[in-house]
Amino acid sequence: MWNRVCLLCLLICPNLALCSDTLTLATSNGPPYMIQSSDSGLDIDIPRAALNRAGYKLAIRYMPLARAQVEVQSQRIDLTTPFFRGGTDGLFLSEPHVMYRPTAFSLASRNLKLVQLGDLKHYRVHTFQGAKGYFGREYVDAISQSPHYEERPDMSKLVLSLASGRTDIVVLDYNIFSYFWNRAIGDAQKIQLRAHSIFPPVAAVAAFNNAEIRDKYNEGLKAIIRDGTHQKLMERHVELLPLLK
């Protein structure tokens, strides 16, 4: 009996993802973009809102992003965010829904001069694990000459390294740094920061295994940008920093 029901479903709608009103998104845990404890964040709330406009509900599964890509390519999961690379077989990439902002942070009191990537060679640098693979040859050349370079798996500890003086520079996305700084340091110590914009912004997209659903998502994304929903979601998750003017 069950086999007959499954066969009937396939005959009526060969692509079950198109017929289902619930899609599964695979992502990782990385506040404020992906917050597992609340199923929220910029890389979850914005795609959810866009898919809602297209008539879909969204279920979330958490896993490493590398595995998420494989799960989508293997048709076991419908989409993954954030995704940063193009030209990947079996994936259909959406329009960008948010821009990541890699930034070099320093203590304002140090008055460090940092205007280009090559200037990193003069300073101790702490950053996230795997950073060498993200920022290109100029970055790798610069940090190879740094007096101390360290990649750390726990991004929440990077703000403490900067506040305590254990490093001169922290390289991290602006919003991720803000999230952890405001929870670990906040205004209590009255520390002012400098944000050095020496990296280009990076577009984050959603990667689908179905072009038709990707197209519907893009239309939903345009709709929430037009009516201000996108901006409201950005404001919900983007936090201020004590930057020196």
Q: Walk along the chain (245 residues) in steps of 10 and give the mean pLDDT of each run.
A: 48 51 96 97 98 97 95 97 84 97 97 97 97 94 98 95 97 97 86 96 97 98 98 95 80
Return the pLDDT at 210.
Answer: 97
Q: Is the pTM of this model over 0.85?
A: yes
- Domain 102-196 - what CATH class? alpha beta
Alpha carbon dihedral 112, 116, 122, 127, in 10-degree steps, equals 90
Return the pLDDT at 40.
Answer: 97
- Domain 13-99+202-237 - what CATH class? alpha beta
Distance of CA 126 to the CA centre of its chain: 19
Domains 13-99+202-237 and 102-196 belong to one CATH topology: yes
Return the pLDDT at 189.
Answer: 75
Distance between CA atoms of residues 235 and 231, nearest Å:
6
The domains of the chain are located at: 13-99+202-237, 102-196
Return the pLDDT at 9.
Answer: 47
The enclosing H or E element of 153 equals: none
